Structure 1
Amino acid sequence: MRFKARRAYVPGLAALLVAAVAGCSAGSGDDSSAGDSKPGETTSATAAQPGKYRTLREACGSVPRSTLKDLLPGAASLPEDQQEKAYQGAAAVTYDTDRRVGCSWKADSPAASNQLVIDVERVVSYDPAVSDDTRAQEVYAKKEAGANIAPATPSASSSGSPDASGSPGASDAPGASDSAAAPGPQTVSPSATASGTASTSASAGATATATEGLEPRVLDDLGDAAFLDDVLARSGSAAQHRTVSVVFRTSNVIVTVRYTEQPALSTEVPDSKELQDKARGLARTLVDQLNE
Protein backbone atom coordinates (compact mmCIF):
# COMPACT_ATOMS: atom_id res chain seq x y z
CA MET A 1 0.00 0.00 0.00
CA ARG A 2 2.80 2.32 0.80
CA PHE A 3 4.45 1.59 -2.55
CA LYS A 4 1.24 2.23 -4.46
CA ALA A 5 0.67 5.54 -2.70
CA ARG A 6 4.21 6.67 -3.55
CA ARG A 7 3.68 5.77 -7.23
CA ALA A 8 0.47 7.84 -7.25
CA TYR A 9 2.20 10.83 -5.65
CA VAL A 10 5.25 11.09 -7.91
CA PRO A 11 3.40 11.64 -11.21
CA GLY A 12 1.33 14.40 -9.60
CA LEU A 13 4.45 16.19 -8.44
CA ALA A 14 6.01 15.87 -11.86
CA ALA A 15 2.95 17.45 -13.43
CA LEU A 16 3.23 20.44 -11.11
CA LEU A 17 6.92 20.89 -11.89
CA VAL A 18 6.24 20.78 -15.64
CA ALA A 19 3.50 23.41 -15.32
CA ALA A 20 5.78 25.68 -13.28
CA VAL A 21 8.61 25.40 -15.78
CA ALA A 22 6.25 26.09 -18.66
CA GLY A 23 4.87 29.15 -16.88
CA CYS A 24 8.35 30.57 -16.32
CA SER A 25 9.27 29.99 -19.93
CA ALA A 26 6.13 31.72 -21.15
CA GLY A 27 6.69 34.66 -18.78
CA SER A 28 10.27 35.15 -19.87
CA GLY A 29 9.18 35.20 -23.50
CA ASP A 30 6.58 37.87 -22.86
CA ASP A 31 9.08 40.07 -21.03
CA SER A 32 11.52 39.83 -23.91
CA SER A 33 8.96 40.78 -26.53
CA ALA A 34 7.63 43.67 -24.43
CA GLY A 35 11.14 45.03 -23.92
CA ASP A 36 11.89 44.91 -27.65
CA SER A 37 8.66 46.72 -28.54
CA LYS A 38 9.67 49.94 -26.80
CA PRO A 39 12.75 50.69 -28.90
CA GLY A 40 10.82 49.62 -31.96
CA GLU A 41 8.10 52.15 -31.25
CA THR A 42 10.51 55.07 -30.92
CA THR A 43 12.46 54.27 -34.07
CA SER A 44 9.60 53.24 -36.34
CA ALA A 45 7.90 56.69 -36.29
CA THR A 46 10.19 59.11 -38.15
CA ALA A 47 9.80 62.65 -36.80
CA ALA A 48 9.63 65.54 -39.28
CA GLN A 49 12.68 67.77 -39.58
CA PRO A 50 12.77 70.85 -37.32
CA GLY A 51 13.08 74.30 -38.86
CA LYS A 52 16.36 76.01 -39.57
CA TYR A 53 15.77 78.71 -36.96
CA ARG A 54 15.45 77.98 -33.24
CA THR A 55 15.60 81.57 -31.92
CA LEU A 56 14.95 85.12 -33.13
CA ARG A 57 17.11 88.21 -32.86
CA GLU A 58 15.88 91.35 -31.15
CA ALA A 59 13.65 93.23 -33.62
CA CYS A 60 14.31 96.89 -32.82
CA GLY A 61 18.05 96.41 -33.24
CA SER A 62 17.73 94.61 -36.56
CA VAL A 63 17.18 97.77 -38.64
CA PRO A 64 20.39 99.76 -39.29
CA ARG A 65 20.43 103.40 -38.20
CA SER A 66 21.18 104.51 -41.76
CA THR A 67 18.04 102.73 -42.98
CA LEU A 68 15.91 104.32 -40.27
CA LYS A 69 17.18 107.77 -41.24
CA ASP A 70 16.11 107.11 -44.82
CA LEU A 71 12.67 105.72 -43.91
CA LEU A 72 11.95 108.31 -41.19
CA PRO A 73 13.13 111.64 -42.62
CA GLY A 74 11.16 113.58 -40.02
CA ALA A 75 13.33 112.28 -37.19
CA ALA A 76 16.33 114.30 -38.35
CA SER A 77 14.63 117.56 -37.35
CA LEU A 78 13.87 116.41 -33.80
CA PRO A 79 15.93 117.39 -30.73
CA GLU A 80 18.72 114.94 -30.06
CA ASP A 81 17.00 113.13 -27.18
CA GLN A 82 13.74 112.75 -29.10
CA GLN A 83 15.64 111.73 -32.21
CA GLU A 84 17.37 108.93 -30.30
CA LYS A 85 14.03 107.73 -28.94
CA ALA A 86 12.50 107.73 -32.42
CA TYR A 87 15.35 105.60 -33.79
CA GLN A 88 15.17 103.15 -30.88
CA GLY A 89 11.62 102.16 -31.77
CA ALA A 90 8.97 100.50 -29.62
CA ALA A 91 9.18 96.74 -29.18
CA ALA A 92 6.02 94.72 -29.72
CA VAL A 93 4.63 92.96 -26.65
CA THR A 94 4.99 89.18 -27.08
CA TYR A 95 4.86 86.23 -24.70
CA ASP A 96 7.75 84.29 -26.24
CA THR A 97 10.55 86.21 -27.94
CA ASP A 98 11.87 82.98 -29.44
CA ARG A 99 8.59 82.60 -31.30
CA ARG A 100 7.65 86.17 -32.25
CA VAL A 101 9.21 89.62 -32.10
CA GLY A 102 8.36 92.99 -33.59
CA CYS A 103 9.10 96.71 -33.49
CA SER A 104 7.58 99.97 -34.72
CA TRP A 105 8.97 103.42 -35.47
CA LYS A 106 7.24 106.70 -36.29
CA ALA A 107 8.37 110.21 -37.12
CA ASP A 108 6.56 113.33 -38.33
CA SER A 109 7.89 116.14 -40.47
CA PRO A 110 6.26 119.26 -41.94
CA ALA A 111 5.88 117.36 -45.22
CA ALA A 112 4.63 113.93 -44.08
CA SER A 113 4.27 111.35 -41.35
CA ASN A 114 6.09 108.05 -41.75
CA GLN A 115 5.65 104.81 -39.84
CA LEU A 116 7.61 101.55 -40.06
CA VAL A 117 6.55 98.24 -38.52
CA ILE A 118 8.32 94.88 -38.70
CA ASP A 119 6.96 91.57 -37.46
CA VAL A 120 9.02 88.37 -37.28
CA GLU A 121 7.39 85.01 -36.57
CA ARG A 122 9.15 81.68 -36.07
CA VAL A 123 6.69 78.96 -37.02
CA VAL A 124 6.77 75.71 -35.07
CA SER A 125 4.81 72.59 -36.01
CA TYR A 126 3.46 70.60 -33.08
CA ASP A 127 2.59 67.70 -35.36
CA PRO A 128 5.53 65.24 -35.44
CA ALA A 129 4.54 64.24 -38.97
CA VAL A 130 4.67 67.85 -40.28
CA SER A 131 7.94 69.78 -40.45
CA ASP A 132 8.32 73.37 -39.28
CA ASP A 133 9.05 74.43 -42.87
CA THR A 134 5.87 72.82 -44.16
CA ARG A 135 3.81 74.50 -41.48
CA ALA A 136 5.47 77.84 -42.27
CA GLN A 137 4.58 77.39 -45.95
CA GLU A 138 0.93 76.97 -44.95
CA VAL A 139 0.96 80.10 -42.77
CA TYR A 140 2.65 82.13 -45.51
CA ALA A 141 0.19 80.86 -48.16
CA LYS A 142 -2.72 82.15 -46.08
CA LYS A 143 -1.13 85.58 -45.84
CA GLU A 144 -0.56 85.73 -49.59
CA ALA A 145 -4.11 84.57 -50.31
CA GLY A 146 -5.46 87.22 -47.95
CA ALA A 147 -3.67 89.93 -49.91
CA ASN A 148 -5.31 88.82 -53.19
CA ILE A 149 -1.99 88.79 -55.00
CA ALA A 150 -2.25 88.09 -58.72
CA PRO A 151 -0.29 85.07 -60.05
CA ALA A 152 3.15 86.05 -61.32
CA THR A 153 3.50 83.74 -64.33
CA PRO A 154 0.62 84.95 -66.56
CA SER A 155 1.42 88.61 -65.95
CA ALA A 156 5.11 88.14 -66.68
CA SER A 157 4.37 86.51 -70.03
CA SER A 158 1.96 89.28 -70.99
CA SER A 159 4.50 92.05 -70.46
CA GLY A 160 6.04 93.49 -73.58
CA SER A 161 8.58 95.64 -71.72
CA PRO A 162 9.57 94.04 -68.41
CA ASP A 163 12.14 96.69 -67.53
CA ALA A 164 10.05 99.74 -68.31
CA SER A 165 9.69 100.78 -64.70
CA GLY A 166 13.32 100.31 -63.79
CA SER A 167 12.30 98.56 -60.55
CA PRO A 168 13.34 95.01 -59.53
CA GLY A 169 9.72 93.80 -59.70
CA ALA A 170 8.88 95.32 -63.05
CA SER A 171 8.70 91.93 -64.75
CA ASP A 172 5.33 91.29 -63.12
CA ALA A 173 2.83 92.51 -65.68
CA PRO A 174 3.71 96.19 -66.10
CA GLY A 175 1.53 96.49 -69.17
CA ALA A 176 -1.54 95.13 -67.44
CA SER A 177 -1.33 96.99 -64.13
CA ASP A 178 -3.28 100.16 -65.00
CA SER A 179 -6.35 98.48 -66.39
CA ALA A 180 -6.42 95.83 -63.66
CA ALA A 181 -5.98 98.26 -60.79
CA ALA A 182 -8.62 100.85 -61.60
CA PRO A 183 -11.94 99.24 -60.49
CA GLY A 184 -11.40 98.38 -56.81
CA PRO A 185 -10.84 100.97 -54.05
CA GLN A 186 -8.37 98.68 -52.27
CA THR A 187 -6.33 98.02 -55.40
CA VAL A 188 -3.47 100.37 -56.04
CA SER A 189 -3.19 102.25 -59.31
CA PRO A 190 0.12 104.10 -58.91
CA SER A 191 0.17 105.51 -62.43
CA ALA A 192 -3.28 107.00 -62.13
CA THR A 193 -2.65 108.58 -58.73
CA ALA A 194 0.68 110.04 -59.78
CA SER A 195 -0.61 111.55 -63.01
CA GLY A 196 -3.65 112.98 -61.22
CA THR A 197 -1.42 115.01 -58.90
CA ALA A 198 1.21 116.18 -61.37
CA SER A 199 0.66 119.82 -60.42
CA THR A 200 1.35 119.20 -56.72
CA SER A 201 4.86 117.83 -57.02
CA ALA A 202 7.84 118.72 -59.17
CA SER A 203 8.66 115.04 -59.63
CA ALA A 204 5.11 113.89 -60.32
CA GLY A 205 5.65 113.87 -64.07
CA ALA A 206 8.58 111.50 -63.77
CA THR A 207 6.65 109.33 -61.33
CA ALA A 208 3.75 108.99 -63.72
CA THR A 209 6.00 107.40 -66.32
CA ALA A 210 7.93 105.19 -63.88
CA THR A 211 5.21 103.55 -61.80
CA GLU A 212 4.01 100.92 -64.24
CA GLY A 213 4.44 97.42 -62.84
CA LEU A 214 4.13 98.46 -59.20
CA GLU A 215 0.88 96.63 -58.57
CA PRO A 216 0.66 94.11 -55.68
CA ARG A 217 2.61 91.07 -56.81
CA VAL A 218 4.68 88.01 -55.99
CA LEU A 219 8.41 88.69 -55.57
CA ASP A 220 11.02 86.19 -56.66
CA ASP A 221 14.13 87.76 -55.14
CA LEU A 222 13.46 87.51 -51.39
CA GLY A 223 13.89 84.39 -49.27
CA ASP A 224 12.05 81.20 -50.18
CA ALA A 225 8.83 83.05 -51.08
CA ALA A 226 7.68 86.67 -50.94
CA PHE A 227 4.97 89.09 -52.04
CA LEU A 228 4.35 92.84 -52.00
CA ASP A 229 1.08 94.63 -51.29
CA ASP A 230 0.41 98.33 -51.94
CA VAL A 231 -2.72 100.03 -50.62
CA LEU A 232 -3.73 103.69 -51.01
CA ALA A 233 -6.49 104.80 -48.63
CA ARG A 234 -8.04 107.88 -47.09
CA SER A 235 -9.35 108.27 -43.54
CA GLY A 236 -12.16 110.82 -43.46
CA SER A 237 -10.96 114.25 -44.56
CA ALA A 238 -7.29 113.44 -43.91
CA ALA A 239 -4.75 113.13 -46.67
CA GLN A 240 -4.41 109.85 -48.50
CA HIS A 241 -1.92 107.48 -46.93
CA ARG A 242 -0.13 104.67 -48.70
CA THR A 243 0.97 101.44 -47.00
CA VAL A 244 3.45 99.11 -48.66
CA SER A 245 3.81 95.65 -47.12
CA VAL A 246 6.53 93.16 -48.01
CA VAL A 247 6.08 89.66 -46.62
CA PHE A 248 8.69 86.94 -47.08
CA ARG A 249 9.44 83.46 -45.75
CA THR A 250 12.85 81.94 -45.11
CA SER A 251 12.63 78.34 -43.88
CA ASN A 252 10.36 78.47 -40.82
CA VAL A 253 10.54 82.24 -40.27
CA ILE A 254 8.02 84.70 -41.76
CA VAL A 255 8.84 88.41 -41.80
CA THR A 256 6.48 91.31 -42.52
CA VAL A 257 7.74 94.81 -43.31
CA ARG A 258 5.01 97.48 -43.35
CA TYR A 259 5.90 101.04 -44.37
CA THR A 260 3.32 103.87 -44.35
CA GLU A 261 3.47 107.49 -45.44
CA GLN A 262 0.80 110.15 -45.07
CA PRO A 263 1.53 113.60 -46.58
CA ALA A 264 0.64 116.72 -44.61
CA LEU A 265 -1.38 118.12 -47.52
CA SER A 266 -4.57 116.41 -48.64
CA THR A 267 -3.66 117.15 -52.27
CA GLU A 268 -0.45 115.10 -52.08
CA VAL A 269 -0.27 111.40 -52.87
CA PRO A 270 2.61 109.25 -51.53
CA ASP A 271 4.89 107.99 -54.27
CA SER A 272 4.37 104.27 -54.79
CA LYS A 273 7.77 103.47 -56.30
CA GLU A 274 9.69 105.29 -53.59
CA LEU A 275 7.88 103.50 -50.77
CA GLN A 276 8.17 100.12 -52.46
CA ASP A 277 11.89 100.54 -53.08
CA LYS A 278 12.50 101.45 -49.44
CA ALA A 279 10.39 98.59 -48.07
CA ARG A 280 12.05 96.05 -50.37
CA GLY A 281 15.49 97.37 -49.47
CA LEU A 282 14.83 96.79 -45.77
CA ALA A 283 13.40 93.34 -46.51
CA ARG A 284 16.65 92.39 -48.30
CA THR A 285 18.63 93.53 -45.26
CA LEU A 286 16.54 91.31 -43.01
CA VAL A 287 16.98 88.35 -45.37
CA ASP A 288 20.75 88.82 -45.24
CA GLN A 289 20.63 88.89 -41.44
CA LEU A 290 18.73 85.60 -41.36
CA ASN A 291 21.31 84.04 -43.66
CA GLU A 292 24.26 85.07 -41.50
Structure 2
Amino acid sequence: MAYVPGTALLAALVVGCSASTGTGGSAPDSKPGEATVAAAAPGKYRTLPDPCRAVAPSALKDLLPVAAELPEDQQKKVYEGAATITYDTDRRVGCRWKSEAPDASHTLFIDFERVVSYDPSVSDDDRAREVYTKKETAAGLSSPSAAPSSTKDAEKRTSPSSDSASGSASHALSGPASEDGNANDPAGENGSDTGGSTDGSAGSAGSAGSAGSAGSAGSADESLLPRTLDDLGDGAFLDDLLTRAGSTAQNRTVSVVFRTSNVIVTIEYTEQPAAPTGPPDSKELQDKAQSLARKLVDKFSE
Protein backbone atom coordinates (compact mmCIF):
# COMPACT_ATOMS: atom_id res chain seq x y z
CA MET A 1 0.00 0.00 0.00
CA ALA A 2 1.35 3.44 -1.02
CA TYR A 3 2.02 6.02 1.63
CA VAL A 4 0.61 9.55 1.07
CA PRO A 5 2.25 12.28 3.07
CA GLY A 6 -0.12 14.43 5.13
CA THR A 7 0.68 17.62 3.22
CA ALA A 8 -0.06 16.01 -0.16
CA LEU A 9 -3.36 14.62 1.11
CA LEU A 10 -4.46 18.04 2.37
CA ALA A 11 -3.64 19.66 -0.98
CA ALA A 12 -5.71 17.05 -2.82
CA LEU A 13 -8.71 17.70 -0.59
CA VAL A 14 -8.47 21.46 -1.15
CA VAL A 15 -8.39 21.01 -4.94
CA GLY A 16 -11.40 18.68 -4.80
CA CYS A 17 -13.46 21.14 -2.75
CA SER A 18 -12.59 24.02 -5.10
CA ALA A 19 -13.88 22.07 -8.08
CA SER A 20 -17.15 21.24 -6.36
CA THR A 21 -20.36 22.98 -7.51
CA GLY A 22 -22.47 22.19 -4.49
CA THR A 23 -25.52 24.15 -3.44
CA GLY A 24 -23.40 26.58 -1.50
CA GLY A 25 -21.13 27.51 -4.41
CA SER A 26 -21.58 29.97 -7.28
CA ALA A 27 -23.05 28.84 -10.60
CA PRO A 28 -20.39 28.01 -13.19
CA ASP A 29 -21.52 30.83 -15.50
CA SER A 30 -21.90 33.54 -12.88
CA LYS A 31 -19.59 36.51 -13.04
CA PRO A 32 -18.33 38.47 -10.06
CA GLY A 33 -20.11 41.82 -9.72
CA GLU A 34 -22.77 41.02 -12.34
CA ALA A 35 -26.04 42.80 -11.47
CA THR A 36 -29.38 40.98 -11.73
CA VAL A 37 -31.89 42.83 -13.94
CA ALA A 38 -35.36 42.94 -12.37
CA ALA A 39 -38.23 41.98 -14.65
CA ALA A 40 -40.60 44.81 -15.63
CA ALA A 41 -43.94 44.93 -13.87
CA PRO A 42 -46.76 42.85 -15.40
CA GLY A 43 -49.88 44.55 -16.67
CA LYS A 44 -52.89 45.23 -14.48
CA TYR A 45 -55.19 42.98 -16.50
CA ARG A 46 -54.58 39.25 -16.85
CA THR A 47 -57.89 38.38 -18.55
CA LEU A 48 -60.53 40.07 -20.69
CA PRO A 49 -64.29 40.37 -20.13
CA ASP A 50 -66.83 38.78 -22.45
CA PRO A 51 -67.29 41.52 -25.07
CA CYS A 52 -70.83 40.48 -26.00
CA ARG A 53 -71.85 40.98 -22.38
CA ALA A 54 -69.78 44.07 -21.78
CA VAL A 55 -72.45 46.44 -23.12
CA ALA A 56 -75.53 46.80 -20.94
CA PRO A 57 -78.95 46.15 -22.55
CA SER A 58 -79.97 49.76 -21.86
CA ALA A 59 -76.93 51.00 -23.81
CA LEU A 60 -77.66 48.64 -26.69
CA LYS A 61 -81.22 49.93 -26.90
CA ASP A 62 -79.85 53.45 -27.26
CA LEU A 63 -77.19 52.48 -29.81
CA LEU A 64 -79.49 50.21 -31.85
CA PRO A 65 -82.77 52.16 -31.67
CA VAL A 66 -84.81 50.21 -34.19
CA ALA A 67 -84.18 46.89 -32.44
CA ALA A 68 -86.71 47.78 -29.75
CA GLU A 69 -89.46 47.72 -32.41
CA LEU A 70 -88.67 44.13 -33.44
CA PRO A 71 -90.51 41.05 -32.15
CA GLU A 72 -89.09 39.76 -28.88
CA ASP A 73 -87.25 36.80 -30.39
CA GLN A 74 -85.55 39.04 -32.98
CA GLN A 75 -84.67 41.61 -30.33
CA LYS A 76 -82.95 38.91 -28.31
CA LYS A 77 -80.89 37.85 -31.31
CA VAL A 78 -79.82 41.44 -32.06
CA TYR A 79 -78.86 42.20 -28.45
CA GLU A 80 -76.88 38.97 -28.06
CA GLY A 81 -74.39 40.12 -30.67
CA ALA A 82 -71.92 37.95 -32.56
CA ALA A 83 -68.48 37.24 -31.13
CA THR A 84 -65.57 37.65 -33.50
CA ILE A 85 -63.12 34.82 -34.03
CA THR A 86 -59.74 35.21 -32.34
CA TYR A 87 -56.75 32.95 -31.75
CA ASP A 88 -56.50 33.58 -28.02
CA THR A 89 -59.43 34.90 -26.02
CA ASP A 90 -57.11 35.83 -23.14
CA ARG A 91 -55.40 38.26 -25.47
CA ARG A 92 -58.09 39.50 -27.84
CA VAL A 93 -61.88 39.41 -28.08
CA GLY A 94 -64.56 41.30 -29.98
CA CYS A 95 -68.29 41.47 -30.60
CA ARG A 96 -70.55 42.95 -33.27
CA TRP A 97 -74.20 43.99 -33.22
CA LYS A 98 -76.40 45.18 -36.09
CA SER A 99 -79.97 46.40 -36.36
CA GLU A 100 -81.75 47.25 -39.61
CA ALA A 101 -84.81 49.34 -40.33
CA PRO A 102 -86.45 50.62 -43.51
CA ASP A 103 -84.89 54.07 -43.03
CA ALA A 104 -81.44 53.23 -41.61
CA SER A 105 -79.19 50.54 -40.15
CA HIS A 106 -76.83 50.75 -37.17
CA THR A 107 -73.75 48.64 -36.52
CA LEU A 108 -71.73 48.49 -33.31
CA PHE A 109 -68.38 46.77 -33.00
CA ILE A 110 -66.11 46.57 -29.94
CA ASP A 111 -62.65 45.04 -29.63
CA PHE A 112 -60.56 44.37 -26.52
CA GLU A 113 -56.84 43.69 -26.85
CA ARG A 114 -54.68 42.78 -23.84
CA VAL A 115 -51.09 43.67 -24.63
CA VAL A 116 -48.33 41.56 -23.10
CA SER A 117 -44.64 42.36 -23.38
CA TYR A 118 -42.27 39.42 -23.66
CA ASP A 119 -39.31 41.70 -23.20
CA PRO A 120 -38.41 41.49 -19.48
CA SER A 121 -37.09 45.04 -19.58
CA VAL A 122 -40.37 46.49 -20.96
CA SER A 123 -43.55 46.47 -18.89
CA ASP A 124 -46.92 45.46 -20.32
CA ASP A 125 -48.17 49.02 -19.78
CA ASP A 126 -45.25 50.50 -21.70
CA ARG A 127 -45.75 48.04 -24.53
CA ALA A 128 -49.49 48.87 -24.64
CA ARG A 129 -48.60 52.57 -24.72
CA GLU A 130 -46.41 51.94 -27.78
CA VAL A 131 -49.20 50.06 -29.57
CA TYR A 132 -51.75 52.75 -28.73
CA THR A 133 -49.43 55.54 -29.88
CA LYS A 134 -49.02 53.86 -33.26
CA LYS A 135 -52.79 53.80 -33.68
CA GLU A 136 -53.10 57.43 -32.70
CA THR A 137 -50.34 58.38 -35.13
CA ALA A 138 -51.92 56.32 -37.92
CA ALA A 139 -55.12 58.30 -37.35
CA GLY A 140 -53.19 61.54 -37.86
CA LEU A 141 -53.68 62.51 -34.23
CA SER A 142 -50.19 62.30 -32.81
CA SER A 143 -50.78 65.50 -30.85
CA PRO A 144 -53.88 67.29 -29.50
CA SER A 145 -53.46 69.97 -32.14
CA ALA A 146 -53.41 67.49 -35.00
CA ALA A 147 -56.45 67.91 -37.20
CA PRO A 148 -57.59 67.03 -40.72
CA SER A 149 -55.99 69.33 -43.25
CA SER A 150 -58.94 69.50 -45.59
CA THR A 151 -62.09 67.83 -46.80
CA LYS A 152 -60.30 67.04 -50.03
CA ASP A 153 -57.73 65.02 -48.10
CA ALA A 154 -60.55 63.20 -46.37
CA GLU A 155 -62.17 62.24 -49.64
CA LYS A 156 -58.94 60.64 -50.81
CA ARG A 157 -59.03 58.14 -47.97
CA THR A 158 -60.89 54.86 -48.33
CA SER A 159 -63.37 53.37 -45.90
CA PRO A 160 -65.51 50.25 -45.53
CA SER A 161 -69.24 50.40 -46.17
CA SER A 162 -71.56 50.05 -43.21
CA ASP A 163 -71.73 46.29 -43.65
CA SER A 164 -67.97 46.02 -43.78
CA ALA A 165 -67.15 48.71 -41.25
CA SER A 166 -67.33 46.10 -38.53
CA GLY A 167 -66.79 43.24 -40.93
CA SER A 168 -63.31 44.44 -41.79
CA ALA A 169 -62.50 44.50 -38.11
CA SER A 170 -63.85 40.96 -37.78
CA HIS A 171 -61.70 39.91 -40.72
CA ALA A 172 -58.65 41.46 -39.14
CA LEU A 173 -59.37 39.74 -35.84
CA SER A 174 -59.65 36.37 -37.56
CA GLY A 175 -56.01 36.55 -38.49
CA PRO A 176 -54.31 39.81 -37.58
CA ALA A 177 -50.74 40.32 -38.66
CA SER A 178 -48.59 41.34 -35.75
CA GLU A 179 -46.23 44.27 -36.03
CA ASP A 180 -43.41 41.95 -36.96
CA GLY A 181 -45.50 40.51 -39.78
CA ASN A 182 -46.34 37.19 -38.12
CA ALA A 183 -49.96 36.61 -39.04
CA ASN A 184 -50.13 33.45 -36.95
CA ASP A 185 -48.97 35.02 -33.70
CA PRO A 186 -51.80 33.75 -31.46
CA ALA A 187 -51.03 36.21 -28.74
CA GLY A 188 -50.58 39.17 -31.04
CA GLU A 189 -47.60 39.75 -28.78
CA ASN A 190 -45.89 42.35 -30.77
CA GLY A 191 -48.98 44.49 -30.54
CA SER A 192 -51.03 43.52 -33.54
CA ASP A 193 -53.00 46.61 -34.21
CA THR A 194 -56.29 46.61 -32.48
CA GLY A 195 -58.71 45.42 -35.08
CA GLY A 196 -57.88 45.90 -38.69
CA SER A 197 -60.75 48.28 -39.00
CA THR A 198 -59.24 50.58 -36.42
CA ASP A 199 -56.36 51.12 -38.76
CA GLY A 200 -58.58 50.62 -41.80
CA SER A 201 -61.59 52.68 -40.95
CA ALA A 202 -60.56 54.59 -37.87
CA GLY A 203 -56.92 54.83 -38.76
CA SER A 204 -57.42 55.72 -42.38
CA ALA A 205 -60.02 58.21 -41.22
CA GLY A 206 -57.32 60.28 -39.62
CA SER A 207 -58.23 63.23 -41.81
CA ALA A 208 -61.72 62.15 -42.64
CA GLY A 209 -64.05 63.60 -40.04
CA SER A 210 -64.39 66.99 -41.66
CA ALA A 211 -66.48 65.67 -44.54
CA GLY A 212 -70.05 66.47 -43.58
CA SER A 213 -69.21 66.83 -39.89
CA ALA A 214 -71.73 69.58 -39.45
CA GLY A 215 -74.45 67.81 -41.36
CA SER A 216 -75.85 68.66 -44.75
CA ALA A 217 -74.51 72.20 -44.56
CA GLY A 218 -71.06 70.74 -45.22
CA SER A 219 -69.26 73.25 -42.99
CA ALA A 220 -66.96 71.51 -40.54
CA ASP A 221 -67.63 72.00 -36.85
CA GLU A 222 -64.18 71.99 -35.27
CA SER A 223 -65.51 70.47 -32.06
CA LEU A 224 -66.56 67.39 -34.04
CA LEU A 225 -63.33 66.82 -35.94
CA PRO A 226 -61.18 63.74 -35.19
CA ARG A 227 -59.30 64.53 -31.97
CA THR A 228 -57.61 63.20 -28.89
CA LEU A 229 -59.72 62.84 -25.74
CA ASP A 230 -58.27 63.94 -22.42
CA ASP A 231 -60.77 62.45 -20.00
CA LEU A 232 -60.91 58.81 -21.06
CA GLY A 233 -58.63 56.09 -19.70
CA ASP A 234 -54.86 56.49 -19.98
CA GLY A 235 -55.11 57.86 -23.52
CA ALA A 236 -57.88 58.09 -26.09
CA PHE A 237 -58.82 59.49 -29.48
CA LEU A 238 -61.95 59.80 -31.59
CA ASP A 239 -62.22 59.46 -35.35
CA ASP A 240 -65.19 60.32 -37.58
CA LEU A 241 -65.42 59.03 -41.12
CA LEU A 242 -68.11 59.86 -43.65
CA THR A 243 -68.21 57.80 -46.85
CA ARG A 244 -70.55 57.09 -49.69
CA ALA A 245 -72.64 53.93 -49.60
CA GLY A 246 -73.84 53.50 -53.14
CA SER A 247 -74.36 56.33 -55.56
CA THR A 248 -75.87 58.95 -53.24
CA ALA A 249 -76.35 57.72 -49.65
CA GLN A 250 -73.61 58.36 -47.09
CA ASN A 251 -72.73 56.35 -44.02
CA ARG A 252 -70.81 57.53 -41.01
CA THR A 253 -68.49 55.56 -38.73
CA VAL A 254 -67.39 57.05 -35.42
CA SER A 255 -64.49 55.26 -33.75
CA VAL A 256 -63.23 55.70 -30.20
CA VAL A 257 -59.96 54.03 -29.20
CA PHE A 258 -58.67 54.18 -25.65
CA ARG A 259 -56.06 52.52 -23.46
CA THR A 260 -56.47 51.50 -19.85
CA SER A 261 -53.26 50.05 -18.43
CA ASN A 262 -52.31 47.15 -20.73
CA VAL A 263 -55.68 46.86 -22.52
CA ILE A 264 -56.63 48.74 -25.69
CA VAL A 265 -60.33 49.11 -26.47
CA THR A 266 -61.75 49.99 -29.87
CA ILE A 267 -65.37 51.04 -30.46
CA GLU A 268 -66.84 51.53 -33.93
CA TYR A 269 -70.36 52.84 -34.33
CA THR A 270 -71.83 53.14 -37.82
CA GLU A 271 -75.09 54.52 -39.17
CA GLN A 272 -76.15 54.06 -42.78
CA PRO A 273 -79.35 55.68 -44.08
CA ALA A 274 -81.36 53.60 -46.50
CA ALA A 275 -82.07 56.64 -48.67
CA PRO A 276 -80.05 59.74 -49.63
CA THR A 277 -81.55 61.93 -46.92
CA GLY A 278 -78.29 63.63 -45.94
CA PRO A 279 -75.38 62.38 -43.85
CA PRO A 280 -76.00 60.87 -40.40
CA ASP A 281 -75.67 63.31 -37.55
CA SER A 282 -72.05 63.42 -36.42
CA LYS A 283 -72.67 64.82 -32.95
CA GLU A 284 -75.26 62.21 -32.08
CA LEU A 285 -73.03 59.31 -33.09
CA GLN A 286 -69.99 60.80 -31.36
CA ASP A 287 -71.90 61.40 -28.13
CA LYS A 288 -73.19 57.83 -28.08
CA ALA A 289 -69.80 56.31 -28.88
CA GLN A 290 -68.08 58.36 -26.15
CA SER A 291 -70.80 57.49 -23.65
CA LEU A 292 -70.22 53.80 -24.32
CA ALA A 293 -66.46 54.26 -24.02
CA ARG A 294 -66.84 55.79 -20.56
CA LYS A 295 -69.03 52.89 -19.47
CA LEU A 296 -66.39 50.43 -20.67
CA VAL A 297 -63.64 52.30 -18.82
CA ASP A 298 -65.72 51.99 -15.66
CA LYS A 299 -66.24 48.29 -16.32
CA PHE A 300 -62.50 47.68 -16.50
CA SER A 301 -62.09 49.62 -13.26
CA GLU A 302 -64.50 47.37 -11.36
Letter in 1 for 2:289: A
* 1:33 alignment partner, SS class: coil
Deviation track 1:170-218 (CA, whole Å, cap 9, x = no partner) reads xxx8xxx7xx432211422256662438xxxxxxxxxx79x44110010
Distance in 2 between residues matched to 1:42 and 1:51, nearest whole Å: 28
* 2:95 alignment partner, SS class: strand
* 2:209 alignment partner, SS class: coil
Correspondence 1:269 to 2:238: no
1:144 is aligned to 136
Letter in 1 for 2:79: Y
Aligned residues: 248
Q: CA deviation at 1:94?
A: 1.8
Match of 2:46 among 38, 51, 54: 54
Structure with the higher fraction of residues in helix conformation: 1
Kept after mapping to 2: 8 A contact 1:245/1:279: yes
1:250 is aligned to 260
Letter in 2 for 1:110: P
2:236 is aligned to 226
Letter in 2 for 1:237: S
Kept after mapping to 1: 8 A contact 2:21/2:27: no
User: Any runs of at least 4 consecutive aligned residues in structure 1 with deviations exceeding 3 A, and if so which?
Assistant: 12-16, 28-33, 35-38, 40-43, 190-193
Unaligned runs of 5+ in 2: 158-207
Letter in 2 for 1:242: R
Match of 1:183 among 145, 152, 167: 152
1:79 is aligned to 71
1:166 is aligned to none
Distance in 2 between residues matched to 1:277 and 1:21, nearest whole Å: 82
Deviation track 1:233-259 (CA, whole Å, cap 9, x = no partner) reads 114426111000000000000000000
1:6 is aligned to none
Kept after mapping to 2: 8 A contact 1:112/1:264: yes
2:84 is aligned to 92
Q: Between the two proteins, what is the percent identity of the paired residues?
A: 55
Scaled by the length of structure 2, what TM-score is found? 0.74
2:115 is aligned to 123
* 2:277 alignment partner, SS class: coil
Q: CA deviation at 1:33?
A: 3.2
Larger Rg belongs to: 1
Distance in 1 between residues matched to 2:284 and 2:213, nearest whole Å: 16
Q: CA deviation at 1:106?
A: 0.2
Specify whether residues 55 and 14 from structure 1 end up closer, same or farther in structure 2 by C-alpha distance, changes over 3 A only. Answer: same
